[in-house]
Amino acid sequence: MLSYKQNPDPSGLHSRRCMNRKKDKGFEICINNINFQRKSVIGYVELTIFPTVMNLNRIKLNSKQCRIYRVRVNDLEAPFIYNDPTLEVCHHESKQRNLNYFSSAYTAAVSAVDPDAGNGELSIKVPSELWKQGDEMKVMKVYIEFSLDQPKGGLHFVVPDVDGSMAERAAHVFSFGNQNSTRFWFPCVDSYSELCTWKLEFTVDASMVAVSCGDLVETVYTHDMRKKTFHYMLPIPTAAPNISLAVGPFEILVDPYMHEVTHFCLPQLLPLLKQTMSYLHEIFEFYEEILTCRYPYSCFKTVFVDEAYVQVSSYASMSIFSTNLLHSGMIIDQTPVTRRCLAQALAQQFFGCFISRMSWSDEWVLKGISGYIYGLYLKKTFGVNEYRHWIKEELDKIVEYELKMGGVLLHPTFSGGKEKDNPTPHLHFSIRHPHTLSWEYYKMFQCKAHLVMRLIENRISMEFMLQVFNKLLSLASTASSQKYQSHMWSQMLVSTSGFLKSISNVSGKDIGPLIKQWVDQSGVVKFFGSFAFNRKRNVLELEIRQDYTSSGTQKYVGPIKVTVQELDGSFNHTLQIEENSLKHDIPCHSKSRRNKKKKIPLMNGEEVDMDLSAMDADSPLLWIRIDPDMSILRKVEFEQADFMWQYQLRFERDVVAQEEAISALEIFPTPASRLALTDILEQDQCFYKVRIQACFCLAKIANSMMSTWTGPPAMKSLFTRMFCCKSCPNIVKTNNFINFQSYFLQKTMPVAMALLRDVQNLCPKEVLNFILDLIKYNDNRKNKFSDNYYRAELIDALTNSLTPAISINNEVRTVDNLNTDVRLILEEITRFLNMEKLLPSYRNTITVSCLRAIRMLQKNGHIPSDPSLFKSYAQYGHFVDVRIAALEAVIDYTRVDRSSSELQWLLDLVQNDPVHYIRHEILSMLAKNPPFTKAADSLLCNEALVDQLWKLMNSGTCHDWRLRCDAVNLYYTLFGLTRPSCLPLPELGLVLNLKEKKAVLNPTIKSEQGPGGPERPGLTVVLAFPTQEEEDIDMDTVHDSQAFIYHHLNMLERPSTPDITLFQLFALIFTGKEPSSVEQAMLSMPGTPMPTLSKESTSSKHGDHHHHHHHHEHKKKKKKHKHKHKHKHKHESKDKDRDSHAFSNSPASGRSIRSPSLSD
C-alpha cells in the first residue's frame, strides 16, 4: 500500500495563474498497501490548498484509472465527478475514420483535462459549508482515498513467474510515464508548473525497499513487524510529475565517493552495479563545477529496474534506469553508452527536476540546457572529437527529420487557442500538448533544443552561458528555501521569456534574431554551394544558394563562415547571406605559383608536407568549407573537385570535415580516393569513428570500381597487417582488446568487407572465407574483455555477405539445394545460436545477430520464409533486445509476405504484452517498415484493420500517452490523413453543420451505419434538432454533433431510462464508512447488494435525478460540460442493458461516474 500526502506546509503556495482557482502547496501521499500478487495499490492523498479566488466551489484534479473511494474537504464529505474524455477520444459508435478528425478530437480531449488550464478529470465540489471559508482565503485540505487495481499505466509491476516469496522472485514496481503521467497512480495536480512540498509514506513488505523522492526520514515497522513504512520528506517545492516511486527487494549500494548517493539494483546484480556506478562521482563533480552550484537535493538515488519504459527517467532527487544498462568490467561497448545515460539523467536533475517549466511551450529551454550541459560532459570525458562527431550526428538527424517530416517548432505559441491556429499544419498530430506528440518528433525536439543552446553559446560565449545557468539555479535555490507565502516559488519555473531576459542581462547581447529564427520558427536551412577560381583576379567566386521552399526548410539571412585552405594557409571569411546575393568574391592570399618545398600551414597551426601533384596547377585552393563550426542548423551540399575532398580528408584535422569528405568521396570511385581512404584507415592517430566510416566508404568505392580494382579485396591486406599473425597471415591474432580504437576497427572492418561484391554481384569467395576464418580462429581466452560484440559483428558480416539466391522456378527451399557457401554460413549461425543457449553472451548480442542473419537468409530465398522461429523468440520472457530483433523480423516478414495473420499477431501483442517498451517498439517499427502504405493498395488494407487500429488509438491505448501517439503515427503511415481508401464509400447522409446552423450533404464523414447495420431513422431525427435547439447548440466539432445526434437516437429508441442503479451506487460511496475501513469497504463492494440509503444519499439521489432531466432540457449551455454530456449519453444507453449488480462492480472507477449533486 502506498499512501502519499502532499504535506500541508504551513506556508501556502500562491497561485500564479488566475485560471487556476486553487493553489496547492503541500501534498501528502500515503500508500499503505502494495499487493504484488494482485498488482494493486491502496492509499490516500491529502493536499493543502490555498484558494486564491473568492468562492472556490469546485476543485479540479488530475486522476486516471484510480478508483476513488471518498473525498473529503476539511473533514467534510465532498461529492465529486470523474470524467476522462481521453479514455475514448471519439464516440465509440462513430464511424468517423479520418485522422484529422481524430487529432483534433484528441487534442480537445487532452485540453479538457489539462491542469495548466485549470482542468482535470476529477472535479470535486467544495461543500457549501466551506464556501464562506473560501472567501476568507483559508487553507483547504482535500483528502482523497483511492486504489489502483492492475494499473495499465503510471505504475508497472514486474512479477516474475517463479517460486518463492515476492522478494525472492525479484518482484518490483515502479512509476513511469511520458511527461506528466503521475495522475495515473495518484490524484494530483499533474502539472510541471504546480509546485508543492511533499511528504510521502509507503508501507511495504519488510523484505522490500521503497525508494522515492526526497529524504528518507525514517523507516518504521508496522505493529505486526511484517511490513515497514518508509517516510520521505521533500522540502524542495516540486511538481507532481517529478514524483516517482520504486519498490522492490533491491540491493543497496552506498556510493563509495558520495555517501548521500545511494544506488539500488535487483537481486544478484550488485557486482554489476558497483562497476557501473564507479564513475558517477566524476559526472557529479563535472556538473557542479561548470554550473558552480551544488547539486540541489540533499540526496540522490538511482534505481535500476527491469522492463523499464525508457532507458533513463529523471525525477526529483532520483532517477530510474533500465537494468539493462548495468554491465561488468569486461564489457567495452556498453560502458560509454551507460555513462552517457547517467550523465543525461544527472543533467536533468538540475534542469527538468529541480528547475521545472512554466508551460509546455517552455519545455525547449529545459531540454536544451540539460542537453547542452550533457554535451559539455561528453566533450570533457570522451574528447573533442567525440563531441564534434556527436554534434554533427545530431545535426544530421534533425536536418533529415525536418526535411522529411516538416519542421520542428521549439516554442509554439497558440493564439486564441483554436485549432485553426495550428502552428504546425504539416504534422498529423498537434504539438499543443506533450501527450499528443509523436515520440519521434519529441526526440527530434530535444535534439534541436540542445543544438539551439549551442548556437546561443556560439553567440554569447560559453562563459556567459554558464553564468546564465548559474543564475537560474541560484534564484531557484533561494526560492526553494522560502515559504510558500513569499511568492518566490515561481523562480523555480523557467520560461522562455525569463530565460531570454537572463541571457540579455548577463551577456548584454541581443539574441532576438537567433531566437526568432530557430526557436519561434520551424525548419532548417538547405544550402547548395559551388565555386570557381578566377585566376586573373586571384579571387574565389563562391556561390551559395538556398532552398527555402521545400517542406521543413526556412530562409536564412545573416552571417556565414567560410574556411578556405590555400597553399599559404587557412583563412576564415565571414560572408553575409542576403536576400538577393548568391555570389561572394573571396580574395585569395596565395599565388598559384608554388614553392615545391614549402610546408603548408593548417588551421591549427600545424605545418605539413603535402603531395601537391594532384591539384590544379592554376589554383591555390586546397579545400573550402562552408559553416565549419556548424553554427547554423543546416544541410550543405557543396561541390568541389575530388582531389579537394581527398586533401580535406587527409589533412583537415577536424573530424567533421573528415566525415564530410568521406561521404563526398563516395561518388568519386577513383584510385586516388581509394588511397586517401586507405591511408586514413591505417592512421592510428585518426579518430576511430572516422576510420570506421572510411571502411564503409571504401567498400562502396570498391564496388563501383569493380572492373578496375587490382589487388586483394579492399581492406583485406590492411586487416591482415593490423590484426593477423605475422607468421601466418590467414590466422587472426588471439584477441586483445586493450586498445579500444583498434578493437572498434577490428569489429567493423569485416562488416564493411562483407559488403564487397564481385562482377556477378556476389560477395567474393575470398572475403567470405576470410570472415569464416576469423570466426574459426577467434580465440578470446587471453583477453580481459568479452568478445561478444565482436562475435556478433562477425555474424553481421556474414549477414552482409548474403545476396539473393538464384531461384529456379520458385521451387520450395530445401536442405538439399542449399548453396554451399550458404550452408557454411548457416552452420556457423546454428552453432552460435545453440551455444548461446548454453553460454549466453552479454545482452544476448549473438542471438540478436543470429536472428537478423536468419531473417536475411529467408528474405534472400536461401531458406524457407517462416516467422515461427521469430515468434518464439519474441515471446515474453526473452531478453528485451532479443525480442526486439525477433519482432523486427516478424514485421519484415509481414511486409514481404503480406501476412495478415502475422499483422494480427503483432497488433494483439501491442494490446497485451506486459512490457510497455515492447508495445511501443512494435508500433514504431511497424511505422518504419509498414506492411503497406497509403500510396499503394494492399490486400492487408481492409475495413477490419482500419477499425482495429482506430479502436486502438481511440480507446485501446488510453493508459499510455506514448503508445497512443505511436498508434496515431502508424495509422498515418498506413492510411494518411484522410479517410482510408479501403473503406466503402460512405452512404449519402445528411450532416448538420451546426455552426452554420444548416444541414448539408456530407460525402466524407458521418452516419455510416455499416452495410449490415440497422436502419435508423437518422434523417428525421437529425433534421428535427436544429429547429428545436437552434439557439442553444454551440458545438464546434463534428464530434460533438455526432455525440449529440446519437444521444438523441438513443433517447428516441429507449424512452425510459432506469437511472436508479446509478444513484444507488453513489449512495454507497457517499454514505461513507470510517476512514480506517477503506479496505473493507472496497472488498465488500463488488457484487454486494446496496446498503440501505441514508437520508443524505436519498436526498442527493433525488437531486441528481431531478438534475438529470433538467440537464437534458437545457442542453449544453456550457461548453465546459460537453464531454461530460457525451459520457452520460453513453452510460445511459449502457445502463439499460445491465443489471444493477453488474454496474455496482465498478464503483467510482474508470468510466465517468458522476456524483449526484454536482453538475451545475
* Contact positions with another protein (CB under 8 A) in 730-759: 731, 733-734, 736, 738-742
Contact 504, 510 (CB under 8 A): yes
Write out the three cell numbers for 483: 515559504
Q: Which residues contact 167 (CB under 8 A, 6 or more apart)?
A: 205, 207, 208, 249, 267
- Please select the residue that binds another protein; options are 75, 129, 135, 218, rule is CB under 8 A: 218
Alpha-carbon span 379 to 134, nearest angstrom: 55
1080 makes contact with another protein (CB under 8 A): no
844 makes contact with another protein (CB under 8 A): yes
In the complex, the smallest distance separating the C-beta of residue 247 from another protein, rounded to whole angstroms, is: 13
830 makes contact with another protein (CB under 8 A): yes
Secondary structure E strands in 135-194: 140-149, 155-158, 172-175
- Please select the residue that binds another protein; options are 122, 140, 209, 342, rule is CB under 8 A: 209
In the complex, the smallest distance separating the C-beta of residue 728 from another protein, rounded to whole angstroms, is: 4
810 makes contact with another protein (CB under 8 A): no
Q: Which residues contact 599 (CB under 8 A, 6 or more apart)?
A: 607, 608, 609
Phi-psi region of 893 (alpha: psi -120 to 50; beta: other; left: phi over 0): alpha
In the complex, the smallest distance separating the C-beta of residue 971 from another protein, rounded to whole angstroms, is: 31
Q: Among residue numbers 942 through 1001, which ones bind another protein (CB under 8 A)?
A: none
Interface with another protein (CB under 8 A), residue total 107
Q: Among residue numbers 879 through 908, which ones bind another protein (CB under 8 A)?
A: 879-881
Query: Which range touches another protein (CB under 8 A), out of 481-489, 712-720, 869-877, 894-902?
Result: 869-877
Alpha-carbon span 879 to 888, nearest angstrom: 14
162 makes contact with another protein (CB under 8 A): yes
In the complex, the smallest distance separating the C-beta of residue 262 from another protein, rounded to whole angstroms, is: 5
In the complex, the smallest distance separating the C-beta of residue 335 from another protein, rounded to whole angstroms, is: 7
861 makes contact with another protein (CB under 8 A): no
Which x/- pattern, by CB under 8 A, does the window 416-445 give for another protein? ------------------------------
Query: Which range touches another protein (CB under 8 A), out of 209-217, 532-540, 964-972, 1029-1037?
Result: 209-217
| Distances, alpha carbon 1044 to alpha carbons 93, 1000, 1055, 1123, 1152, in Å | 12, 16, 16, 11, 17
Q: Which residues contact 731 (CB under 8 A, 6 or more apart)?
A: 724, 725, 773, 777
725 makes contact with another protein (CB under 8 A): yes
Secondary structure of residue 812 in the 3-state scheme:
coil
Nearest alpha-carbon partner for 32 in 180, 220, 159 = 220
In the complex, the smallest distance separating the C-beta of residue 677 from another protein, rounded to whole angstroms, is: 22
- Surface-to-core class of residue 474, CB atoms within 10 Å of its CB (0-12 exposed, 13-18 middle, 19+ buried): middle
Q: Among residue numbers 322 through 361, which ones bind another protein (CB under 8 A)?
A: 323-324, 326-330, 335-336
689 makes contact with another protein (CB under 8 A): no
Alpha-carbon span 980 to 815, nearest angstrom: 43
CB nearer another protein, residue 23 or residue 231:
231
- Please select the residue that binds another protein; options are 580, 613, 710, 1076, rule is CB under 8 A: 1076
CB nearer another protein, residue 863 or residue 965:
863
Q: Among residue numbers 224 through 283, which ones bind another protein (CB under 8 A)?
A: 225, 228, 252, 254, 256-257, 259-260, 262, 266, 268-269, 272, 274-276, 278-279
Continuous segment of H or E residues that includes residue 882: helix 880-897
CB nearer another protein, residue 3 or residue 180:
3
Alpha-carbon span 551 to 404, nearest angstrom: 8
- Please select the residue that binds another protein; options are 300, 533, 687, 873, rule is CB under 8 A: 873
Nearest alpha-carbon partner for 191 in 118, 116, 242 = 116
In the complex, the smallest distance separating the C-beta of residue 74 from another protein, rounded to whole angstroms, is: 18
CB nearer another protein, residue 228 or residue 625:
228
936 makes contact with another protein (CB under 8 A): no
Q: Among residue numbers 287 through 316, which ones bind another protein (CB under 8 A)?
A: 299, 306
In the complex, the smallest distance separating the C-beta of residue 463 from another protein, rounded to whole angstroms, is: 26
Write out the three cell numbers for 73: 474537504
With residues binned 3-state (H G I as helix, E B as strand, rest as coil), the percentages for the chain, rounded to 5, are 45, 20, 40
- Number of CB atoms found within 10 A of residue 557's CB: 12
Query: Which range touches another protein (CB under 8 A), out of 343-351, 500-508, 575-583, 870-878?
Result: 870-878
683 makes contact with another protein (CB under 8 A): no
Write out the three cell numbers for 772: 569464416
In the complex, the smallest distance separating the C-beta of residue 658 from another protein, rounded to whole angstroms, is: 19
571 makes contact with another protein (CB under 8 A): no
727 makes contact with another protein (CB under 8 A): yes
Alpha-carbon span 681 to 1098, nearest angstrom: 85
Taking the CA of residue 393 as centre, how many other CA atoms within 13 Å lie in the half-sphere pointing to its CB?
11
782 makes contact with another protein (CB under 8 A): yes
200 makes contact with another protein (CB under 8 A): no
Query: Which range touches another protein (CB under 8 A), out of 46-54, 417-425, 655-663, 865-873?
Result: 865-873
Alpha-carbon span 432 to 427, nearest angstrom: 12
Secondary structure of residue 233 in the 3-state scheme:
strand
Q: In this structure, what DSSP letter does residue 15 have?
A: -
